[in-house]
C-alpha cells in the first residue's frame, strides 16, 4: 500500500504542461510529445476514490500497450514507447470531445436505464423484451461527451454533429474505426475464453489524421464475460462471471455509494485494496494470457522519473 502511486509532481526537461486526470497524469513535452503516467488511483461513478490500488497502474498501462500494438493496422495510434511499466510516451493529438462507447450486450448502466423503462439510448432504439446481459442483434454505439471535469453525459450521433463537436464525415469515420476495433477485440477475447461485452475508445487528430488515443481494452474501459459460462448463467438469470471494474462499482453500491451528493465513500481498508489489486492482476493474466510480473516497487516515483529521463535523453 505504501508504494502505491497516487500523485506525481515531476518537472521534466522541455515540459510545457501537466494534466492530472482521474487516474492518469499527463505531461506535455514540447509541442508534440505526451507522457501518460498510469497512477494507482481508482475512480468509480466519476469519483476518484481515496485509496490507491497496488499495481493497478502497471496493469492498465501494459494491457493498453499490448492492444494498441495489436490494433495499429486498423487505425494509427498515439503510442511511441513504454519507458516504464506505468508510462506510455506518445504523440500529442487534439482530442475529440466525445468518447465512442460500443456495446455488444445489454448490461451495466445501459441495463439500469432499460430496466427503468428507457427504450432508446443515445438515440439508438432498443428492442422490447430484452433481459439483463442479453446480446444485441448487432453492437450499438452509444457515445458520451468527454468532460474535463464532472460527469460525461450520453449524447446522440445527431446531437454530436448538430453541436459541431465532430463533423459528419469525421464522426462516420470514428464509427467505422470503433466497429473494427471492437471486432478485433472480440476476436482476441474469444481466444482467451472471454467475451468483450462493451468498451470505449477515444480519438484525436494530428496533422489532419485521426489517431486512436488513451487506453484500449483495459478492465477500466471495458467489460469482459467468461465465454464458457455465459449462456448457462444468462438462461438462469444469474449474475455473469466477469472481468471489469464492475466489481468495485457493485461493492460501492452495496455500501450505499453511487457518487451522488451527500453520499460517503465506504472505508477502503488495506485488506480490501489488496483484494482489488489481486483482481486487477487476475484481469491482466486472463486478458493478455501471460503471467503478470510486478515491477520493482521500492521507490516508484524515483524509478519512473529515471526511466522517463533516460527516454527523453534518447529522443
What local confidence, expressed as pLDDT, does residue 247 receive? 86
Q: What is the mean pLDDT of residues 245-250?
A: 86
Which cell goes with 161?
454533429
Nearest alpha-carbon partner for 58 in 280, 307, 268: 280
pLDDT at residue 302, rounded to an integer: 95
Q: Is the pLDDT of residue 52 over 80?
A: yes
Q: What is the pLDDT of residues 164-184, one digit of tens each?
A: 999 999 999 999 999 999 999
pTM score of the predicted model:
0.90
The full length of the chain comes to: 315
Grid cell digits, residue 169:
464525415
Per-residue model confidence (pLDDT) at position 46: 84
Residue 286 and residue 108: Cα distance in Å, rounded? 21
On whether the CB atoms of residues 93 and 206 are closer than 8 A, the answer is yes
What does the alpha-carbon distance between residue 35 and residue 88 come to, in Å, rounded to a whole number? 6
The grid coordinates of residue 301 equal 516515483
pLDDT at 219: 84
Report the pLDDT value the prediction gives residue 141, as an integer from 0 to 100: 98
pLDDT per residue over 248-287, tens digit each? 988 999 999 999 999 999 999 999 999 999 989 988 999 9
Q: Can you say how many angstroms the Cα of residue 104 is from the centroid of all Cα atoms in its chain?
A: 16
Query: Rounded distance, CA 73 to CA 223, Å?
Result: 23
Share of the chain above pLDDT 90, in %: 87
Cα-Cα-Cα-Cα torsion 299, 304, 309, 311, nearest 10 degrees, comes to 140
**Mean pLDDT to the nearest integer, 212-220:** 92
Buried/exposed code over 12-34 (b: 16+ C-beta within 10 A; e: otherwise): beeeeebeeeebbbbbbbeeebb
pLDDT digits (tens, 9 = 90+) for 111-152: 999 999 999 999 999 999 999 999 999 999 999 998 765 567
Q: Give 12-50 pLDDT, tens digit per residue.
A: 999 999 999 989 999 999 999 999 999 999 999 889 999
Q: What domains can be seen in the chain, in order of their start residue? A: 15-92+276-314 (3.30.200.20), 95-243 (3.30.470.20)
Q: Judge contact between 93 and 213, C-beta under 8 A.
A: yes
Return mean pLDDT, the chain: 94
Amino acid at each position: 500500500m505504501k508504494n502505491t502511486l497516487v500523485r506525481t509532481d515531476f518537472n521534466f526537461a522541455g515540459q510545457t504542461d501537466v494534466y492530472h486526470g482521474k487516474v492518469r497524469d499527463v505531461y506535455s513535452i514540447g509541442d508534440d510529445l505526451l507522457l501518460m503516467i498510469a497512477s494507482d488511483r481508482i475512480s468509480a461513478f466519476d469519483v476518484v476514490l481515496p485509496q490507491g490500488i497496488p499495481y493497478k497502474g502497471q496493469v492498465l498501462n501494459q494491457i493498453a500497450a499490448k492492444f494498441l500494438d495489436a490494433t495499429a493496422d486498423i487505425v494509427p495510434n498515439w503510442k511511441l514507447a513504454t519507458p516504464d511499466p506505468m508510462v506510455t510516451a506518445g504523440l500529442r493529438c487534439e482530442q475529440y470531445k466525445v468518447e465512442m462507447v460500443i456495446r455488444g450486450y445489454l448490461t451495466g448502466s445501459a441495463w439500469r436505464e432499460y430496466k427503468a423503462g428507457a427504450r432508446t439510448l443515445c438515440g439508438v432504439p432498443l428492442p422490447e423484451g430484452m433481459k439483463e446481459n442479453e446480446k444485441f442483434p448487432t453492437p450499438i454505439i452509444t457515445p458520451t461527451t468527454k468532460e474535463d471535469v464532472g460527469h460525461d453525459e450520453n449524447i446522440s450521433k445527431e446531437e454530436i454533429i448538430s453541436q459541431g463537436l465532430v463533423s459528419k464525415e469525421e464522426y462516420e469515420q470514428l464509427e467505422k474505426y470503433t466497429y473494427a476495433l471492437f471486432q478485433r477485440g472480440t476476436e482476441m477475447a474469444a481466444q482467451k475464453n472471454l467475451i468483450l461485452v462493451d468498451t470505449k475508445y477515444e480519438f484525436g487528430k494530428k496533422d489532419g489524421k485521426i489517431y486512436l488515443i488513451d487506453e484500449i481494452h483495459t478492465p477500466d474501459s471495458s467489460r469482459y464475460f467468461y465465454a464458457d459460462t455465459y449462456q448457462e448463467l444468462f438462461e438462469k438469470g444469474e449474475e455473469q462471471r466477469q472481468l471489469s471494474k464492475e466489481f468495485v462499482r457493485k461493492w460501492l453500491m452495496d455500501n450505499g455509494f453511487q457518487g451522488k451528493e451527500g453520499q460517503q465513500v465506504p472505508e477502503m481498508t488495506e485488506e480490501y485494496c489488496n483484494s482489488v489489486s489481486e483482481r486487477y492482476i487476475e484481469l491482466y493474466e486472463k486478458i493478455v494470457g501471460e503471467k503478470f510480473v510486478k515491477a520493482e516497487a521500492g521507490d516508484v516515483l524515483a524509478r519512473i522519473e529515471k526511466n522517463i529521463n533516460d527516454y527523453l535523453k534518447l529522443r
